[in-house]
């Protein structure tokens, strides 16, 4: 709302109104507002949750300090969601298709997570929302995002125009000082290309996956693209959900990932930097920097109360939403192939559960007795079983997350 107000006032040369045209200014303001909301209202929300007896139900798993968590307020994800959405509504261009998709993602998966928490807390059903319904919610969101990106005329990438020999066409122009310079001729096109890490020619078109079907195969690319988007959304959303098992673990890693994605969005939406780094320039994605800034501030503010010993848990209301936000954001800036690196903590946590369950079922069929790979899954509980203090596990997972973020940045130059 403030974005439109100051855009209007700028017509009358209102002092300072022009600042709202700068993404850097609005991003900084988004961090301040979201962080302030989390810190100032977080305590009030915690007290309200305590008053309503909306506490965590804990199953006895034999973990140190586990029963101390019983009764700790949950559903604290509403702090993250509200502290993210309010600055976005105030500071973002709400006609931007990328911002619209991110708002939809936040509300959609936040609602799915809220249903899960509601069933656990108020219906006293420890299983919560059935997995098939969680999956359905993630699949529907993935379809909406994929189809919007594929068919919307607002979602384009800027490519160099090539001549008959496949070489970029260069044209000579004059700048404001009358000096001549050569620039590449470009055009905005619909595309299903994505940036590929570690390769010099670092763009891959998903249409090539079904190229073997012949010339008419391109019209089916939307199906392949939708399946990939659904896979990424479900994997990362569930990964964040599984990682949310120790105080500050999911929130801390989400903040690290958010900062990284924010920088990637900035360079992808800046034509000069994108050209220098030889990555895809995506018009209008700069607005996403404001969104992710609000997200970072909200998560860091929540971490104030969620760090060990936690005063509140985010619940599925928060964990499903933040995983979905990270996944959809990466897809929108065409960096989803960096997710295995950047979101390595979430993915490893997810894989550890799959491995544990699969191996247990296999050995039970084969030997009549289920065997385990880890002392307990997901992976963070394995280290708890080995006697590591909870804060040490969380801190080390954060360090791994920072290392993965650095490696993600390095992929921009190592090819």
Mean pLDDT of the chain: 89
* pLDDT at residue 7 is higher than 80: no
pLDDT category at 183 given cuts 50, 70, 90 is confident
* pLDDT at residue 194 is higher than 70: yes
pTM of the model: 0.93
C-alpha 270/C-alpha 281 separation (Å) is 7
H/E element holding 395? Answer: helix 390-410
C-alpha 392/C-alpha 129 separation (Å) is 32
Sequence-distant (≥ 6) Cβ neighbours of residue 364 within 8 angstroms: 370, 371
pLDDT digits (tens, 9 = 90+) for 95-144: 999 999 999 999 999 999 999 999 988 888 888 899 999 999 999 999 99
C-alpha 289/C-alpha 26 separation (Å) is 9
* pLDDT at residue 179 is higher than 80: no
pLDDT digits (tens, 9 = 90+) for 244-291: 989 999 999 999 999 999 999 999 999 889 888 888 899 999 999 999
pLDDT digits (tens, 9 = 90+) for 345-394: 999 999 999 999 999 999 999 888 899 999 999 999 999 999 999 999 99
Q: Say what percent of the chain tops pLDDT 70.
A: 94
* pLDDT at residue 175 is higher than 80: no
In sequence order, which ranges of 67-130 are alpha helices (DSSP H)? Answer: 77-91, 97-121
pLDDT digits (tens, 9 = 90+) for 300-336: 999 999 999 999 999 999 999 999 999 999 999 999 9
pLDDT category at 22 given cuts 50, 70, 90 is confident
pLDDT category at 68 given cuts 50, 70, 90 is low
Q: Say what percent of the chain tops pLDDT 90.
A: 64
- Poorest-pLDDT segment among 9-13, 85-89, 154-158, 280-284: 9-13
* pLDDT at residue 32 is higher than 60: yes
């Amino acid at each position: 709302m403030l974005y439109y107000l100051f855009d209007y006032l700028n017509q009358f040369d209102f002092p300072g109104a022009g600042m709202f045209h700068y993404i850097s200014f609005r991003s900084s303001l988004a961090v301040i507002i979201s962080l302030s909301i989390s810190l100032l209202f977080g305590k009030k929300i915690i007290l309200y949750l305590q008053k309503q007896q909306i506490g965590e139900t804990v199953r006895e798993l034999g973990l140190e300090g586990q029963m101390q968590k019983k009764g700790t307020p949950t559903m604290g994800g509403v702090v993250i969601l509200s502290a993210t959405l309010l600055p976005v509504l105030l500071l973002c261009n709400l006609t931007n298709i990328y911002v619209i998709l991110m708002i939809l993602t936040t509300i959609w998966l936040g609602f799915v997570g809220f249903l899960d928490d509601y069933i656990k807390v108020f219906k006293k059903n420890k299983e919560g929302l059935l997995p098939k319904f969680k999956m359905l919610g993630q699949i529907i969101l993935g379809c909406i995002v994929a189809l919007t990106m594929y068919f919307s005329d607002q979602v384009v990438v800027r490519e160099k125009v090539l001549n008959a020999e496949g070489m970029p066409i260069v044209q000579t122009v004059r700048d404001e000082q009358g000096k001549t310079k050569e620039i590449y001729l470009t055009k905005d096109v619909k595309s299903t290309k994505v940036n590929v890490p570690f390769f010099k020619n670092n763009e891959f078109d998903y249409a090539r996956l079904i190229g073997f079907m012949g010339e008419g195969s391109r019209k089916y690319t939307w199906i392949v693209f939708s399946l990939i988007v659904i896979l990424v959304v479900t994997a990362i959303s569930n990964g964040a959900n599984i990682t949310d098992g120790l105080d500050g673990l999911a929130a801390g890693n989400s903040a690290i990932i958010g900062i990284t994605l924010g920088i990637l969005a900035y360079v992808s939406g800046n034509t000069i930097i994108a050209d220098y780094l030889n990555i895809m320039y995506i018009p209008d994605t700069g607005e996403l920097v404001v969104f992710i800034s609000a997200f970072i501030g909200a998560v860091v503010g929540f971490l104030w109360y969620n760090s060990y010993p936690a005063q509140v848990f985010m619940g599925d209301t928060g964990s499903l939403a933040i995983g979905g936000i990270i996944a959809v954001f990466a897809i929108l800036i065409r960096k989803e192939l960096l997710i295995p690196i950047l979101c390595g903590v979430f993915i490893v946590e997810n894989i550890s559960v799959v491995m544990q369950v699969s191996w247990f079922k296999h050995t039970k069929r084969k030997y009549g007795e289920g065997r385990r790979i880890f002392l307990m899954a997901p992976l963070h509980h394995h280290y708890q079983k080995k006697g590591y203090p909870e804060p040490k596990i969380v801190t080390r997972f954060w360090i791994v997350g920072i290392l993965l973020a650095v490696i993600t940045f390095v992929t921009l130059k190592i090819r």
